[in-house]
Structure formats: structure tokens, C-alpha cells
A and B are shown apart, each in its own frame.
Chain A
Amino acid sequence: MSESPLLSIQDFSLEFNTFDGVYQAIADVNIDLAKGESLGIVGETGCGKSVTAKSILKLVPSPPGRVRAGRILFNGEDLVQASEERMRAIRGLDIAMIFQDPMTFLNPVFTVGNQLVDVIMAHQRFLPQRESRSRREARDYAIEMLRKVHLPNPETQFHNYPHQLSGGMRQRVLIAMALSGRPQILIADEPTTALDVTIQAQILDLIGELMKDLGLSVILITHDLGVVALLCNRVVVMYSGQVVEDASVKALFDNPAHPYTQGLLAAVPHPGRSSGVLSGIPGQLPNLLDPPKGCRFQARCSKAMAACGEMAPLKRIGKDQSVACWLYGEDGHA
């Protein structure tokens, strides 16, 4: 990646002010997304995947959330510093997001068509004049989008309320919504976790298809290494708010470098097969109200050493692989 990336999260740290103290959810995260790339973020529950993703669009509620350090560069512009008005022009139009649970992410008291048209109309003021649409045209465009995500009977569904649609259909509506502003980047936060297995496959197919058709760059958050193998070309492994490994999918599966990644893969013997449980590693997650200095995995790591008291930087150890671990020396070998 010699070219400058489309999106670049740099030394990003975010904390939550809670009743019990400062909860250091994200620590020194570095993630790059190149144009046209499909990046997976994996890690067990609570490791900060969603918070990282929401931070890109400034959707982490503040208070309690607070960015402590770092930058999120999009086309060279730092989104951490961007105004709310500027973010509105980015949300949906440059960077769009879909979420985990289609059941709760649609407003129950408006028709799906109404919500879709609202989104399309909200984008109007940020589009050049010649592209602006009347509400009528927005309606036609909405139905076109619903057709694009293969929602059956889009004209009828347009007038239905969310509770009248199945989970898979709602996720299609949300995808149509996210893509209606023709964004460059799509962030999908566990888009299939809440769905039935058969529906999961359909939605994943759809995302794969749209990625190709629209030339999207994608960040796909998941628990499921099978999904990563299917849709991504690169993957970032997070543990407890830190990035521990960043590699091409092939390198990660062939040769996992970080002890945590190794444990993770050991828990899923066949990468092609999905598994809800990621962690077969003994021990507990660190308390982020008072996190250990350095690597947060050290207490569970069989290879921990004195140096782990300080976090290792992400170090290139192969053509498509970087790892944040002191096991790997200057020459890139353990």
C-alpha cells in the first residue's frame, strides 16, 4: 500500500466516562482501508469493533464517549475534527453504514418507503443542483434501490411498515438506504448476525454482488471467520480495543502470527465453516477501567514476556502481514 489509503484510522484512542471511571475502550488503533478493498474486522464480543466503526461516522454518543487521541483521515480530511454539518454531508454520501439488527434499526412508526425517501431527500442539499430530485423522483429512485437489493414486490413493500417485513427483508431495506447516496465506503457491522442461516447466506451474496457492481470499498465487521474468508481480502484482528494483527486473508489463515489470532483460528478448525464462538483461549478479558500497561492480551498469552508491558507497534512480517507482538524481531521472524 504505497498509495495513500482512502480511509486511515491513525493512533486512535477513545474512552467512555462511566459511573465507575474512565473505560478505555479503544487504544491506539491503526487501520487503513484502500480504495476497492474489502476489509474484515474480527474479534470477540466487546473488543471495540462497533465503537471503532461508529467513530468513523462520529456516531459514538458523547458524552459518555470521548476521543482521547488520534485521527481518522478520509481523503486526507480528519473526521475527528469535522463539524456535525460536515459529517452530515459525509454520512450516507461518502461513507454509509449498516448495522447488526435489522429489527431495531428501522423506525417502527413510519413506512419503509417513507424512511427511504427521507434519506434520499436528506442527501439532496449536498448534491449538485443537476442531480437534485423532487419527492416524486425520490420515490421512484427508492423503488429502484429496493429492486437493486432484490426486495420482492418493491412497490408493495414500499408502503409497508417495518413490522410487516421479515428480518432479511428489513436488512435489504437498510442496505438500500445505505447505498442510496452512492457512497464510496460501506461499513457493515455484523450485518447477518441476527438473521437465520439461510437468510445470512442471501444477504452475504447480496453484499458481495453490490461490492462488485458499485465498486464499493467495504469494512465488514464480524465474529465469523467464514464470512471473512468469503468476502474479504484483508482482515484486522482486534483484542480488547487494540489491533493485534493486520493481514491478507490468505496470510492470516495460512500463518497466523499473533498468539491471539492463533488461538482464534484454533477455535475454528475449518475456516470455511462458521462458528459463533471465537474464543477457545483460557482466561478473561482485561478490565478496561484499569487496563494493564502494554499488550492487553498478555495475561492470557502463553508466550508473554517482560517486553509485553509496553505495546508492540504493528510490524510488517511478511508481504501482506503485520503483527503487534514482541515475538517478532527486527527481521520479521519469531
Chain B
Amino acid sequence: MTRFLAKRGILIGVMLLGLLTLTFFISHVAPGDPAHLRAGPDATPEMVEVIRVKYGLDKPLMTQFYVYLKGMLVGDWGESIHSSRKVWDELVIYFPNTAELVIFSILIAIVLGVPIGVLAAVNQNTAIDHFLRVLSISGVALPMFWLGLMLQLFFALKHPLFPLNGQLHVLLDPPDPITHLILVDSLLRGQWSLFINAAQHMVLPALTLSVPGMASIIRVNRAEMLETLNKDYIVNARAQGLSAFRIIGMYALRNAMLATMAMIGLRFGWMLGGTVMVETVFDWPGVGLYAVNGAINNDFAPIIGSTIVLGFFFMLTNLVIDIIYGVLDPRVRTQI
């Protein structure tokens, strides 16, 4: 296990380095002169040159890259032109909001998707199965922004069951941070009304973000369950008199979950990308919205910072998923 973790740690380091390199060079081939942008539209050529020297933008590319890498490693992630604040400090505020949204969404996708997949498999080729298939295919096919808008229209405007957007009512203050996740912290501090308000705000964006993932989890889990239920060890379990509940819920599901876990990992990464869309639609103060604003303002440091944070988060969750794999499958466990 320690060897496995060490190996994965090194791998994550290498991938991060790759990600850092990639973001740096992409930002340098992108159109727009950073010195110009920083100086503002009314700046004279002299002022632009002053800025260029001040930020080292006149140095050779490799020197700039070296300075950039060093800065990233010590937490100096540059500053946003738009807000003139340090990117690191802003991400510390925005990232927990995104993490909360994504974790909640993947939980919804798993908690609903896995049992629905089982239900479809157990009722293969019946009306239930066909109905669930239509649902899951639409879930994958629907554009997310459209789904988000429709949910807003229906459940926030027409029938105001949930707030339209935002993360918390404007007049409420977030709880004193423990984990920086508002739902968790308000619970830990026993601030119930705050918790309820935050949960209400979470429902629509989390649902929007979870639907495509849930749909693919349903599809994979259904297919895997069908395959597993045909396995010899299921025949044996039946021959020995085990109950259908135990056979489906334990003997088959645990095996089916092996493949479903892979899909959950993929979908988690995909959701991180999806936050860009969902956070924009729901005005959710997270990394996705932060990156979008950076892009609109041609503000590179926030975009790079967001990319690195989301990338790192993705790598970590994949590590977690591989560990869960080991827990589920003893054959993998002996290898790691």
C-alpha cells in the first residue's frame, strides 16, 4: 500500500508538472499582449514598456517559464488583472464552493444512478427498463445549460420551490470556516437555518450537474449488472439457496460496481469541467465561474490557477477511486 501510494504520488507530481507546462505555453501562444492588457487600453507605449519590464515579460521565454514554475510551486500564482488580488487568495475562497457542488453532484449521481441501474437490469426488457432507458439516454443527450435554464424556469420562477441562483441568501453570512464547505460547516456549527438555506441553493445546480453523470452511471451499471447476473457464481449462489436480495444487492452489485467505479471516475472529471457551465448559469461563486470571468477579461492568471486546481483535484479523486477499487476487488488489492 505504501509503495502504491508513493508510486501514485510521483505520478501525480509528473502530471502536475505537465499540466503546469501546458498551461504556460498555451497562455503564451494565445493572442493578446499581456503587458498591453495589464496596462489598460489608455496606456501610452512607454507605460506598456514599464509594465513589461516590471513583470519580466521582456525576458526570454524559458526564463519566464522558470520564474513561473518557481512561483507556482511556492504558492505565488500571480494576480488577477481584473480584481488586482492574488489568484491564490481568490481560489482559496472559490475552490471549496466548487468542491462542495461537485461532491454533492457526484453523490446524487451515485446514490440515484446505481440503484436505478440495478432496477433496470433486474427488470430487463420490461416497461420499467424501457422507461429508464429513455430517461438515461435523454440525460446524456440534453445540453446541460438548457437543463439548468429549464430547471430555473420551472422550479425557481414558475413554482418558486428553490432559489434561482447563488449559493446563500444575500443577507446571510457563511458560517465560520472549519472545512470551508458551507453545508458541512453550518452543520458542524449547528446553524440549522443556514444549513437549510444553503441546501436549498444547492439543489438545482447540483441536479443539473449530476444528470448527465447519473445517466451514464445508470447505463453502465445496468449493463454490468446484466453481465454479472449471468455469471456462474450467481448460479451457484442461487443453487445454495441465497435470497434474491442478497444475490442482487451483494453478490452481483459488488462485482458490477468494479466497472461502474471507472465510469464514476470519468464522470467526476467531466463534472469538474461542467462546473464552468453550471456555475455560470446559477451564478455559483466557484472556480468555474472564476475561470469564465478570467477568460472574458483576457485575464490569464485566474485561468491558469483554476486549471491547475481543478486538474489537481481530478488527480486526487482518481487516486481515491483506485483505492476504492482495491477495497472492492481483492485481486487488485494484492497487486497494490
Contacts and interface: CB of A to CB of B under 8 A. Distances in A.
Interface of A: 54, 57, 59, 61, 84, 88-93, 96-97, 99, 101, 104-111, 118-119, 122-123, 126, 161, 163, 174, 177-178, 181
Contact of B239 (A61, A96, A111, A118): A96
Interface in B4-52: none
A118 B244 CA distance: 13
A161 B326 CA distance: 13
B236 A99 contact: yes
Interface in B212-251: 230-233, 235-244, 246, 251
A91 B240 contact: yes
Nearest to B328: A109
B236 A106 contact: yes
Given A161-B331, A163-B331, A105 B240 contact: no
A108 B329 contact: yes
Contacts of A106: 233, 236
B331 A123 contact: no
B329 to A, nearest CB: 6
Interface residues of B, number: 23
A119 B238 contact: no
A135 to B, nearest CB: 14
Nearest to B228: A107
Nearest to B234: A107
Nearest to B333: A161
Nearest to B239: A97
Nearest to A106: B233
Contacts of B243: 88, 122
Interface of B: 230-233, 235-244, 246, 251, 254-255, 258, 328-331
A104 B231 contact: yes
19 contacts: A59-B239, A84-B244, A92-B240, A92-B241, A97-B239, A99-B235, A105-B236, A106-B236, A107-B233, A107-B251, A108-B330, A108-B331, A109-B258, A110-B254, A119-B240, A161-B330, A161-B331, A174-B236, A181-B240
A54 B234 CA distance: 13
Contacts of B246: 118, 122
A109 B241 contact: no
A107 B330 contact: no
A173 to B, nearest CB: 11
A161 to B, nearest CB: 4
Nearest to A118: B242
B237 A107 contact: yes
A174 B236 CA distance: 9
B220 to A, nearest CB: 18
Contacts of A96: 239-240
Question: Which of A96, A111, A118, A181 has the most B CB atoms < 10 Å from its CB?
Answer: A118
A89 B240 CA distance: 10
A109 B240 contact: no
Question: Which of B235, B239, B244, B255 has the most A CB atoms < 10 Å from its CB?
Answer: B239
B232 A93 contact: no
Contact of A92 (B239, B244, B330): B239
A91 B242 CA distance: 9
A99 B255 contact: no
A106 B240 CA distance: 12
Contacts of B242: 118-119, 122
B241 A105 contact: no
Contacts of A122: 240-243, 246
